[in-house]
Amino acid sequence: MCLTVYVGSDVPLPVIPWDDARPAFHVADATDGYFSPNNPLRLHSARTYFYRLGSHDGCGCGFQSYGEEWDEAADAAVEATTPEQQACRRAAADYLAAALRHQPTVEVFTFCSGSESRPPSRQRTARPADFLADPTLFDLWQRVVVSGQDAEPSATADPARPVGESE
């Protein structure tokens, strides 16, 4: 099963079509007609509009970490990424930043494809740029409230905090 990433918004956002000839970041409208007969995203959010974010892989899997590799210069394990993955993360961060020009927050939801009715088990906060540095923001079963301010103190601050539990 694939990772699916959705954005909940109070205002309409642009759609970016998938291009078979040049696989890259893309956005599909998931508000109405995407799900049949009812949109399960409405179980988790009162937002008016929903969009599915896709990566160069066609689904959301390309946003996730590909594991770790050893960096001799740093003498440490670092996240293994590809240029395509970084470009998709950058495009997602830019897309979220653009969405925040028209509203104070958006919500990002991550699910296993076909399991969108399952409630998110983690709630987090982030800024758009955090999606570049923190691959755990693309982990399954999350609701991430994205704003231009007041993100978690560090990129990996308590990602296991249950929904509704305050710090």
> What pLDDT sits at residue 150?
61
pLDDT surpassing 50 at residue 39: yes
pLDDT surpassing 50 at residue 163: no
- What is the residue extent of each domain of the chain? 3-147
- Specify the pTM: 0.84
> What pLDDT sits at residue 40?
93
Give phi and psi for 149, each to the nearest 5.
-150, 175
Average pLDDT over residues 149-157: 54
Closest CA to 24 of 101, 91, 71: 91
Would you say 66 and 85 are in contact if contact means Cβ atoms under 8 Å apart?
Answer: yes
- Report the amino acid identity of residue 40: P
Structural Rg of the chain based on CA atoms? 16
Average pLDDT over residues 116-135: 95
pLDDT in tens, 43-94: 999 999 999 999 999 999 999 876 667 778 888 777 767 889 899 999 999 9
